[in-house]
A and B are shown apart, each in its own frame.
Chain A
Amino acid sequence: MSFQEKQLPADASFGDKALNWIDARFPLSSTWKAHLSEYYAPKNFNFLYVFGSLALLVLVIQIVTGIFLVMHYKPDANLAFASVEYIMRDVPWGWLVRYMHSTGASAFFIVVYIHMLRGLLYGSYRKPRELVWLFGVGIFLCLMAEAFFGYLLPWGQMSYWGAQVIVNLFGAIPFIGPDLSLWIRGDYVVSDATLNRFFAFHVIAIPLVLIGLVIAHIVALHEVGSSNPDGVEIKDTVTESGIPLDGIAFHPYYSVHDIFIVTIFLLIFSAVVFFAPEMGGYFLEYNNFIPANPLKTPPHIAPVWYFTPFYSILRATTSDFVYWLQAGVAAYVALIILRTRLASKCKIAAAVIGLLIIVGMFIFDAKFWGVVLMGVSVMIMFGLPWLDTSPVKSIRYRPGWHKYIYIVFGIAFIVLGYLGVQPPTPVGTAIAQVCTFLYFGFFLLMPWWSATGTFKPVPARVVYHPH
């Protein structure tokens, strides 16, 4: 088909003509419509639905401040620490840019954790939004990698020893471990080579993947449409022209709503940046104001707060705890065999895998299994769309006692996070071990508990009270 451009009347405005010229060559108006002015979102969104937009805002803050930081930062083990201090003291407004970036890192995790909690409560990951959720978990993994790689760059004591411990985690993998951690570091110790490659990952590799995943996340969401606190599919009830009856255009209705909450967010964000950028040692750890010293580990080292729940799971895996894990695996395999209607092939496979894990726990030491549990504790989120077998999506229509399961899970997660910033104690380790079982129990037993109980009837239309 030959190129055709819509003919406008001769007296059309310059703006109309320009837009017409672009639209013939690039899907500008149609993209604007598909994703904003004619993207119909459920009208019953609550406060929790703003955190996706906030996450996008924080991403922009991180990229923009990051660009300015890279203009002055030196990725060299001899110069890095001093260049960060130079940014803080000599570069005009450098302190502001750096504090925005460091506060942005923690803000990113706060926003994303709430965003994920929202998904968990209202079943946003359920069919047909599985891919939205998978891309989202991918984004979460990228964020963790960004935070880890970025944390080495100031080349302070926490940077150095944090990287040392995390890279050595890979050394726990049987057979290939020591060579793998050597390959990651590029040296026998964390050194200039390590700093340079972490810098490359932090500013180029991971951000590229992250932005790609964010686009995929939004495109997948807009393909299937947003869920809502009732878990009702608004596309099931449409007008004659195919517009969901319970949907309202994202722009201007939700863009205005989001911009209002953005102002509140920026108010809090600025308060932290200007009045408490270190946030009592939680956003910027005090030991990181000491230059990296490969000869001396600080007396107390702990990861930044957003990693501590997973770090606690790692630390909870002692050699005594491995016996409990073996019992747990055996019980889980028994549950699969006795209480599911899977094909016998699947049951045999489960039994074989379970047996291999139990035998493996006798062969490889607890250090390795700690690393495995920490990895699985994050990766298990990928399985959520298939673990949840509840007939309803939203917690609003689940049996009342399901709420207590979510509360126990939430408490276990927060307790793990708290214990992760504390020095290890025998009591703390025992509590972390109980919480580790609760954490994994929540996910692994979900196929059973999520389908049990008396569910409330889900309405055909969303519940909405105009105000």
Chain B
Amino acid sequence: MEVDIAGMAPGEQRTVEWRGKPVWIIKRTPEQVAALPKHDSELADPQSKRTQFSTTPEYAMNEWRSRHKDILVLVGICPHLGCSPSSRFQAGPQPSLPDDWQGGFLCPCHGSTFDLAGRVYKNKPSPDNLQVPPYMFEGDTKLVIGKDEKGEAKA
């Protein structure tokens, strides 16, 4: 599936439907990208090494979990029981979130929290990070979801 991401502003999120599930495309600001490696100690699996639920593609096995540091592509389904987490990009204290919130996602069903790379915080119901689907760029502005150099995504 192809998405044209030309003209996405920093901080913008788009949701597209891929195989019946929401896929988020988020253009992070440089400050958000710079902040990502700083809270690794609070995360359950900062390097995305777990493979029990989903395997993170090699090109996303980094702290920003993406090919380009700014563009994040995630399947917007919580690995716990399948709700779609809400975007809570605003940092700082707010309802249902810790006071040192850095911006990220909150699952409304059972309260799992994820950072702006979709990595789950420790001691949360979700057993894994949000899934990164296989994807690749064709040119600068065309994003292909569900397919990369290794071929089509498996079920």
B81-110 to A contact mask, C-beta < 8 Å, 1/0: 111111000000000100000000001111
A345 at interface by CB-CB < 8 Å: no
Which B residues are in CB contact (< 8 Å) with A189? Answer: 19-21
Cβ B108 vs Cβ A299 within 8 A = yes
A297 at interface by CB-CB < 8 Å: yes
With contacts A168-B82, A169-B81, A423-B96 known, is A294 near B20, CB below 8 A? yes
A364-393 to B contact mask, C-beta < 8 Å, 1/0: 011100000000000000000000000000
Which B residues are in CB contact (< 8 Å) with A294? Answer: 17, 20-22
**Chain B: minimal CB distance from A369 (Å):** 12
Q: How large is the interface on A (under 10, 10 to 19, 20 to 34, 35 or more residues)?
A: 20 to 34
A319 at interface by CB-CB < 8 Å: yes
With contacts A165-B83, A297-B86 known, is A424 near B22, CB below 8 A? no
Complex: chain B residue closest to A299, CB-CB? B108
Which A residues are in CB contact (< 8 Å) with B155? Answer: 188
B125 at interface by CB-CB < 8 Å: yes
Complex: chain A residue closest to B109, CB-CB? A301
Cβ A168 vs Cβ B81 within 8 A = yes
B54-105 with Cβ < 8 A to chain A: 76, 80-86, 96
Instruction: Give Cα distance in the complex from A171 to B84, angstroms.
Output: 17
B10 at interface by CB-CB < 8 Å: no
Cβ A320 vs Cβ B81 within 8 A = no
Cβ B108 vs Cβ A367 within 8 A = no
Which A residues are in CB contact (< 8 Å) with B21? Answer: 188-189, 294
Select which of A187, A191, A299, A424 is within 8 A of B111 by beta carbon.
A424
Instruction: Give Cα distance in the complex from A45 to B109, angstroms.
Output: 45
Cβ A161 vs Cβ B109 within 8 A = yes
**Chain B: minimal CB distance from A314 (Å):** 9
Cβ A295 vs Cβ B123 within 8 A = no
With contacts A187-B20, A319-B123, A367-B125 known, is A164 near B83, CB below 8 A? yes
Instruction: Give Cα distance in the complex from A367 to B125, angstroms.
Output: 7
Instruction: Give Cα distance in the complex from A189 to B18, angstroms.
Output: 11
Cβ B86 vs Cβ A164 within 8 A = no
Instruction: Give Cα distance in the complex from A217 to B80, angstroms.
Output: 39
Instruction: Give Cα distance in the complex from A282 to B84, angstroms.
Output: 23
Of listed B76, B81, B111, residue having the most chain A CB within 10 A: B81
A400-424 to B contact mask, C-beta < 8 Å, 1/0: 0000000000000000000000011
Which A residues are in CB contact (< 8 Å) with B125? Answer: 318, 366-367
A88-101 to B contact mask, C-beta < 8 Å, 1/0: 00000000000000
Which B residues are in CB contact (< 8 Å) with A165? Answer: 81-83, 109
B133 at interface by CB-CB < 8 Å: no
B105-130 to A contact mask, C-beta < 8 Å, 1/0: 00111110000000000010101000
Complex: chain A residue closest to B126, CB-CB? A367
A465 at interface by CB-CB < 8 Å: no
Cβ B108 vs Cβ A298 within 8 A = yes
Cβ B22 vs Cβ A295 within 8 A = yes
A315 at interface by CB-CB < 8 Å: yes
Cβ A367 vs Cβ B127 within 8 A = yes
Select which of B17, B82, B108 is within 8 A of A164 by beta carbon.
B82
Cβ A424 vs Cβ B110 within 8 A = yes
Cβ A161 vs Cβ B20 within 8 A = no
A158-195 to B contact mask, C-beta < 8 Å, 1/0: 00010011011101000000000000000111010000
Complex: chain B residue closest to A178, CB-CB? B53
**Chain A: minimal CB distance from B108 (Å):** 5
A300 at interface by CB-CB < 8 Å: yes
B123-154 with Cβ < 8 A to chain A: 123, 125, 127
B7-66 with Cβ < 8 A to chain A: 15, 17, 19-22
Cβ B83 vs Cβ A295 within 8 A = no
A341 at interface by CB-CB < 8 Å: no
Which B residues are in CB contact (< 8 Å) with A301? Answer: 83, 108-109
Cβ B20 vs Cβ A300 within 8 A = no
With contacts A168-B81, A295-B84 known, is A365 near B19, CB below 8 A? no
Instruction: Give Cα distance in the complex from A318 to B96, angstroms.
Output: 17
Cβ A191 vs Cβ B83 within 8 A = no
Of listed A169, A191, A299, A367, residue having the most chain B CB within 10 A: A367
* Given A168-B80, A296-B22, A297-B109, 19 other A-B residues pairs in contact with their CB atoms under 8 A: A161-B109, A164-B82, A168-B82, A171-B81, A188-B19, A188-B21, A188-B155, A189-B20, A294-B21, A294-B22, A295-B84, A297-B83, A297-B85, A297-B86, A297-B107, A297-B108, A298-B108, A299-B108, A318-B125
12 A-B pairs with C-beta separation under 8 A: A161-B83, A165-B109, A168-B81, A168-B82, A169-B81, A188-B155, A294-B17, A297-B108, A318-B123, A320-B123, A367-B81, A423-B108
Q: Taking beta carbons and an 8 Å cutoff, which residues of B are in contact with A? A: 15, 17, 19-22, 76, 80-86, 96, 107-111, 123, 125, 127, 155
